Chain A
Amino acid sequence: MDLADLIVEREEEGYFAYHRSALTSDAIHRAEIERIFNRSWLYVGHESEVPERGDFARRTVGKRPLFFVRSRSDGEVKVFANSCTHRGATICRRDRGNAKTFQCFYHAWTFDSDGALIGVPDEECFGPMFDKSKFGLVEVPRMESYRGLIFVSFDREIEDLVDYLAGARAYIDSMMDAAEVAAAFSANGNGGGAASDSWSGPLAVLRGTHEYGIKANWKLLVENSFDGYHLGPTHATYFQFLKDQNVDVSPSTGTMKLLGNGHAVIEYSGSWGRPIARWAEQFGEASRSQLEALRERIIGELGDTGYRMAELNRNLFIYPNLFVMDNNATALRVIQPTAADYMDVAQYELAPPTEDPTVRKVRLESYVTFAGPGGLATPDDVEALESCQQGAASGVEWSLLSRGYFSEEPPMSGELQMRTFWRRWQEQLLAGELVAS
């Protein structure tokens, strides 16, 4: 099927559907990697994961093995292809750690934390023209860090990250500004944010990564991660659990905003509390005055934006594969397609490095019970996505995304954010085709 025909939209009817071969075709999967993942800004990791010089972490991004290192010479983060420039073996063979140098185990070529090749056994055997300076580790073509979030692009010509983020940038700023206020607020008592000589910030990635796989196409998890419509039916047992804990489960209401370049956000009320900063019963009376004071401080310093940050919850989508989930805890969900019918998912929780123990406990429990793969909700999302993937082989060809087509104010439970994602997806696939021909 022609890429241009994969989406059918009839405005007068309010009909929008995509062809399910987009979930099952190996050719489309390969095209996505070439034309979307090779030409977008992709999230790699967080500055707090490598706070000290020589710290490193290993990732697979857009199917490419990479690792990032905080340079020992200048304290800046560099992102390298995880491959020896000699014969290709992976250099970084642990998920994280601290190193003075990186040595390839195969023939013992050795690189420093800036990627420079500093050791080659029997170097003279490569001849008089051999120049070590030409065989340093290969950095990704583009790397930029924005308020702690490190992104890479394999497209040297791509626009700058801040331009690419478009309207999503303001949301990242507001969340981080509110976290800065919270860090300063807790600094009065206990020292505040994390810091090393090279990095400081209000939120750090906690130890412990949720890494799991789903036997489904990656786009199904994109849809699911800002889908307000599925919550009631898919997560009935989670809401039952909350009810049994006497948590108010009145339905959330909220809106959706398109943020440009395929990015979007749903922003919604929640009866539950927020560690930054909305007190609710599960935090306990002892934490009440502190959380309410923090809330006042955030609103005082950031005004209406501060109120939104403290009061409302957000699922912020940064195209093509990152979600910032800022609801009862703050987490990052990164989606990596590995085949048409399989994805890897990694989730990281962001929290102030120092926090009131009760608030931390509620934050962790909220995240683990809802968004964690061992919780009371996410296993059912996994089931839904795998079920959609199985259904895609049934011969029924089209999936419908028409909900909210005629809504003037897009509701969080509509599907305009998904339609916009699919349109951007198709545009990139088609643009790639033009370049290729």
Chain B
Amino acid sequence: MLERLDLRPTDVTRSELEDLLYNEAYLLDEWRMEDWLALWAEDAEYVVPTNDNPHADPENDLMYINHDYRLLKGLVVRLMSVHAHREYPWSKTRHFVSNVRVLGEDAAGVVHGDAAFQVWRFRNKDRDCYVGRYEVKVRRDGPDLKLVGKWITLDPWTLAPYGAVSIVL
């Protein structure tokens, strides 16, 4: 869980966080995966717990995804390959982000926020809609915000009928 009680006020505004998340959504929907990877800090944590265990302990529990920067790079290589059969030809996706909140800054200077999301995925006859909540961690990096963490909880009770999480949420 990223949610923390010991946060102090931050000068990062909601607009700044929204800009980052909207830009991320745009890059993902355009399949600009290398540009998307560039949004991330090198201590990245991209985590999707299972539907039945949203408050998981990634060190001990089975997750859907628990990627560090190395694995995110691997995922980008995969998704840009013509051999990623689930995603080649690419699906058409639309990431919607709303209910964005900035929660505060922790002792390490990492800013915590959260948002609601819907990600639609269309491919052949598939019409998948992933719905849930992002808990995000960002850090100032010069004029920009870098993504440090995304903890993605899914609202449906199982992953059926999507079959997989083959895109970036």
A residues with a Cβ closer than 8 A to B are 95, 206-215, 234, 236-238, 240-241, 244-245, 342, 344, 348-349, 357, 360-361, 364-365, 367-369, 372-376, 378-380, 382-384, 386, 390
B86 within 8 A of A: yes
Report the separation of the CA atoms of residues A372 and B71 in the bound assembly, to the nearest whole angstrom: 14
Selected contact of B78 from candidates A213, A237, A349, A361, CB within 8 Å: A237
| A residues less than 8 Å from B83 (CB atoms) | 236-237, 240
**B158, closest chain A residue (CB):** A211
Contact code string B127-169 (vs A, CB < 8 Å = 1, else 0): 0000000000000000000000000000001111111111000
The bracket for how many chain B residues form the interface is 35 or more
| B residues less than 8 Å from A367 (CB atoms) | 62
B75 within 8 A of A: yes
Cβ–Cβ contact B62 & A349, under 8 A: yes
Cβ–Cβ contact A376 & B74, under 8 A: yes
Add 7 more A-B contacts to A209-B52, A244-B73 (CB < 8 A): A207-B53, A208-B63, A209-B50, A212-B162, A368-B66, A369-B71, A372-B65
**B166, closest chain A residue (CB):** A379
Q: Given known contacts A244-B74, A344-B160, is B81 in contact with A236 (CB within 8 Å)?
A: yes
Q: Given known contacts A206-B61, A210-B159, A237-B78, is B86 in contact with A374 (CB within 8 Å)?
A: no
| A residues less than 8 Å from B14 (CB atoms) | none
| The 9 residue pairs across chains A and B that have the minimum distance between CB atoms | A213-B160, A374-B64, A208-B62, A379-B164, A379-B86, A211-B158, A379-B166, A212-B159, A236-B83
CB of B129, distance to nearest CB on chain A (Å): 14
Q: Given known contacts A237-B77, A374-B65, A376-B78, is B159 in contact with A211 (CB within 8 Å)?
A: yes
Cβ–Cβ contact B52 & A368, under 8 A: no
**B161, closest chain A residue (CB):** A213
| B residues less than 8 Å from A378 (CB atoms) | 164
Contact code string B52-93 (vs A, CB < 8 Å = 1, else 0): 110011111111111000110111011001011111000000
| A residues less than 8 Å from B61 (CB atoms) | 206-208
CB of A84, distance to nearest CB on chain B (Å): 22
Selected contact of A211 from candidates B59, B63, B160, CB within 8 Å: B160
Selected contact of A214 from candidates B49, B73, B163, CB within 8 Å: B163
CB of B153, distance to nearest CB on chain A (Å): 12
Report the separation of the CA atoms of residues A234 and B163 in the bound assembly, to the nearest whole angstrom: 16
| B residues less than 8 Å from A369 (CB atoms) | 71, 74
Selected contact of B53 from candidates A208, A237, A342, CB within 8 Å: A208
Number of A-B contacts (CB under 8 A): 135
Report the separation of the CA atoms of residues A215 and B161 in the bound assembly, to the nearest whole angstrom: 8
Cβ–Cβ contact B62 & A360, under 8 A: no
Cβ–Cβ contact B165 & A373, under 8 A: yes
**B50, closest chain A residue (CB):** A208
| A residues less than 8 Å from B87 (CB atoms) | 379
Q: Given known contacts A241-B78, A374-B164, A379-B164, is B64 in contact with A210 (CB within 8 Å)?
A: yes
Cβ–Cβ contact A208 & B52, under 8 A: yes
Cβ–Cβ contact A241 & B161, under 8 A: no
**B156, closest chain A residue (CB):** A211
Cβ–Cβ contact B159 & A208, under 8 A: no
Report the separation of the CA atoms of residues A212 and B74 in the bound assembly, to the nearest whole angstrom: 23
27 contacts between A and B (CB under 8 A): A206-B62, A207-B61, A208-B52, A211-B158, A211-B159, A212-B159, A212-B162, A213-B161, A214-B163, A237-B78, A237-B84, A244-B74, A244-B77, A245-B70, A342-B161, A344-B160, A360-B60, A368-B64, A372-B63, A373-B64, A373-B159, A374-B63, A376-B75, A378-B164, A379-B85, A382-B164, A383-B166
**A206, closest chain B residue (CB):** B62
| B residues less than 8 Å from A211 (CB atoms) | 50-52, 158-160
Cβ–Cβ contact B74 & A373, under 8 A: no
**B169, closest chain A residue (CB):** A374
CB of B160, distance to nearest CB on chain A (Å): 3
B48 within 8 A of A: yes
Report the separation of the CA atoms of residues A349 and B124 in the bound assembly, to the nearest whole angstrom: 32
Report the separation of the CA atoms of residues A383 and B167 in the bound assembly, to the nearest whole angstrom: 13
Cβ–Cβ contact B163 & A368, under 8 A: no
Report the separation of the CA atoms of residues A214 and B78 in the bound assembly, to the nearest whole angstrom: 21
| A residues less than 8 Å from B73 (CB atoms) | 244
Cβ–Cβ contact B51 & A368, under 8 A: no
**B152, closest chain A residue (CB):** A374
Cβ–Cβ contact A365 & B85, under 8 A: no
Q: Given known contacts A208-B50, A373-B165, is B85 in contact with A384 (CB within 8 Å)?
A: yes
Report the separation of the CA atoms of residues A11 and B75 in the bound assembly, to the nearest whole angstrom: 45
**B64, closest chain A residue (CB):** A374
Report the separation of the CA atoms of residues A367 and B73 in the bound assembly, to the nearest whole angstrom: 18
| A residues less than 8 Å from B62 (CB atoms) | 206-210, 348-349, 364, 367-368, 372
Interface centre among B58, B87, B157, B166 (most CB of A within 10 A): B166
**A390, closest chain B residue (CB):** B124
Cβ–Cβ contact B64 & A372, under 8 A: yes
CB of B115, distance to nearest CB on chain A (Å): 20
Interface centre among B48, B65, B77, B163 (most CB of A within 10 A): B163
